[in-house]
Amino acid sequence: MTSPGTNRLAMGRFAPFAVLAFFALLPFWMTDQYFLHVLIITGIFIIAAISLNLLLGYTGQLSLGHVAFFGIGSYASALMSIGFDLNVFGWMLVVTPKPVWFCILCGIFVAGLAGWLIGKVSFKIRGAYFVIVTISFAEVMRLVALNWIDLTEGPMALNNIPPLTLWLPFAGETTFWSKVPNYFLVLSIAAICFEIVRRIVVSRVGRAVIALRENEPLAMSVGIDVTRYLLIITVISAAMAGAAGGLYSHYVRIIDPDVFLFIFTVTMVIMVVVGGKGTLWGPIVGGLLFGIMPEALREFAAPEVQWIIYGVAMIIVLIFLPQGIVPAVGSWLQSRRHGSEPPATPEPPGAKGAADPS
């Protein structure tokens, strides 16, 4: 069911446009600025979750330091927009403030480069090693951001990060001070990321990494250069997380080393796993759920109680829908459509029996 080209995608033909239209129209009747703020932050995390899903869901490689790419993207973009001087072996590198759109692109590039490095060092030996390398990488990046005070201001944080300024049709030169333009910006970037992932999944590269996830020795035996394709996907995923980071820094306009905290990676993983890893909609559903739920609960429950509800909700989802919400809804829809016919999907990957000869 997680494979490309199956009939599950039939339902997906119009759904993306319907969802996009819904969210595009939302600010016209939803005038609550606070709620828009929540949606913007949620949207930024959904972009990060989409990028993590590309790696975790489709290649099966768990990046437990995915926040590193997010943080690198946000620091790179913020620094470029504020400007900085750097003493590189006695040679002064002076960067004057650059336009924000250009800075976000730089953030995407630097994050992609970091992804390439990490992939290069860890994909010779995959699996657990990749997890360890990524965790350490994120933690090292946090310590660098904390201690390289000349560049990052350390715990004093980088503040006064300029918001995005763009030339827009009808509006002319516009600075994104208010919620609504930021909301549309995040929405469009999220839509672009969704489309990028959708295209990758049905492409040759996508096929190759899905084959790797399902059966590595077999993937190699059909002539797939596994390491190379994994590296490509890691770079794309890291760059996408970097884009989310860039959006974050120019929306929130202050960042400190806490953007590298492990808890953010955990949040992304939870969004992907609960929503349904290896599905296009998984990170979106999971992201909306875990982005909005804390706010929805805020009126009724104290923060401590909220965390408990949060945890219980996650456990319940994983017990009853071990594959995540999206696959469960998908097979429910399919079984309704086909009546009693059993769904044409094997058991979950954990049940090895599905692939064993009978």
Partner 1 sequence: MLELKDIECRYGKISAVRGLSLEVKEGEFVTLIGANGAGKTTTLKCISGLLPAAKGTITFQGKDISNAPAADILAMGIGHCPEGRRVFPYMSVEENLEMGCYLRKDKDAIHEDMEQLFDRFPVLKERRKQAAGTLSGGEQQMLAISRALMSRPKLVLFDEPSLGLAPNLVDRMFQIVRDIRDQGVTVLMVEQNAYAALELCDHAYVLESGEVTLKGTGSELLENPNVREAYLGT
Among candidate residues 194, 137, 152, the one with its CA nearest the CA of residue 23: 194
User: Quick one: 13 or 352, whose CB is closer to partner 1?
Assistant: 352
Query: Which residues contact residue 348 at a Cβ distance below 8 angstroms, ignoring those fewer than 6 apart?
Result: 322, 323
User: Quick one: 172 or 357, whose CB is closer to partner 1?
Assistant: 357
Rule CB under 8 A: say whether 350 interacts with partner 1: no
**What is the end-to-end Cα distance of the chain in Å, rounded?**
22
Shortest distance, CB of residue 2 to partner 1, whole angstroms? 6
Rule CB under 8 A: say whether 299 interacts with partner 1: no
Rule CB under 8 A: say whether 3 interacts with partner 1: yes
Tell me how crowded residue 324 is: count the other CB atoms within 10 A of its CB: 25
User: Quick one: 254 or 344, whose CB is closer to partner 1?
Assistant: 344
Tell me how crowded residue 39 is: count the other CB atoms within 10 A of its CB: 25
How do strand 91-95 and strand 84-88 relate by DSSP bridges? antiparallel
Among 207, 257, 265, 284, interactor with partner 1 by CB under 8 A: 207
Among 90, 169, 172, 223, interactor with partner 1 by CB under 8 A: 223
Rule CB under 8 A: say whether 1 interacts with partner 1: yes
Rule CB under 8 A: say whether 61 interacts with partner 1: no
Among 169, 217, 303, 350, interactor with partner 1 by CB under 8 A: 217
Among 215, 308, 316, 338, interactor with partner 1 by CB under 8 A: 215
Among 96, 160, 340, 358, interactor with partner 1 by CB under 8 A: 358
Query: Which residues contact residue 160 at a Cβ distance below 8 angstroms, ignoring those fewer than 6 apart?
Result: 82, 253, 254
Kindly identify the residues of this chain, within the stretch 185-204, that bind partner 1 according to CB under 8 A: 204
Q: Are 104 and 76 in contact (CB under 8 A)?
A: no
Shortest distance, CB of residue 18 to partner 1, whole angstroms? 26
Scored b (16 or more CB within 10 A) or e, 113-136 reads bbbbebbeebbeebeeebbebbbe
Among 20, 24, 38, 220, interactor with partner 1 by CB under 8 A: 220
- Residue 353 CA, distance from chain mean position: 32
Among 50, 82, 161, 211, interactor with partner 1 by CB under 8 A: 211
User: Quick one: 53 or 81, whose CB is closer to partner 1?
Assistant: 53
Shortest distance, CB of residue 148 to partner 1, whole angstroms? 41
Q: Give the number of residues in contact with partner 1, rule: CB under 8 A.
A: 34
Rule CB under 8 A: say whether 7 interacts with partner 1: yes
Rule CB under 8 A: say whether 345 interacts with partner 1: yes
| Residue that is written with structure tokens 């456990």 in the block | 315
- Residue 265 CA, distance from chain mean position: 10
89-97, 115-123, 303-311, 343-351 -> range binding partner 1 (CB under 8 A): 343-351
10-18, 49-57, 220-228, 239-247 -> range binding partner 1 (CB under 8 A): 220-228
Strand-pairing partners, residue 84, are 95
List helix spans (H) across the chain: 15-29, 33-59, 66-82, 100-122, 128-147, 149-152, 179-201, 204-214, 216-221, 226-252, 262-275, 282-297, 303-320, 325-337
Shortest distance, CB of residue 222 to partner 1, whole angstroms? 5
Which residues are at the interface with partner 1 (CB under 8 A)? 1-7, 204, 207-208, 210-211, 214-215, 217-225, 344-347, 349, 352, 354-358
